[in-house]
């Protein structure tokens, strides 16, 4: 019985983490930020701001974007 209770608590925690993760990704997208690997033809760029904070953005990759456009 104790195992069943612990298993249920673990499943609940996984559900809570799933909601927090998807909510954070959705909030980041709504604020015009991309939180995944850049799509083909683009590249991820980063810049350290201050006190350990980092600014990230996606921009076109001049080497790969012409190849993707021709496809």
36-55 pLDDT per residue, tens: 888 888 998 888 888 888 88
Q: How many domains does the chain have?
A: 2
- At a CB cut-off of 8 Å and minimum separation 6, what does 26 contact? none
By the 8 A CB rule, do 38 and 56 touch?
Answer: no
Q: Looking at the structure, do residues 22 and 41 belong to the same domain, yes or no?
A: no
| 7: its two tokens | 């298993």
The rounded distance, in Å, linking the Cα atoms of 13 and 23 is 15
Q: Show the domain range for 59.
A: 37-71
The yes-or-no verdict on residue 70 having pLDDT over 80 is no
Q: Does the pLDDT value for residue 57 go beyond 90? A: no
Question: pLDDT grade, residue 33 (50/70/90)?
Answer: confident
Give pLDDT, residue 71: 66
CB of 58 closer than 8 Å to CB of 33: no
* Contact present, 45 and 61 (Cβ < 8 Å): no
Q: Based on the domain organization, do 5 and 29 belong to the same domain?
A: yes
pLDDT for 50 equals: 84
* Same domain assignment for residues 2 and 31: yes
């Amino acid at each position: 019985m104790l195992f069943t209770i612990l298993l249920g608590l673990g499943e609940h925690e996984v559900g809570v983490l799933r909601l927090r993760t998807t909510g954070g990704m959705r909030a980041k997208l709504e604020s015009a930020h991309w939180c995944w690997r850049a799509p083909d033809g683009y590249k991820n760029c980063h810049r350290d701001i201050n006190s350990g904070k980092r600014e990230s953005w996606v921009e076109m990759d001049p080497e790969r974007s012409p190849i993707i456009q021709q496809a």
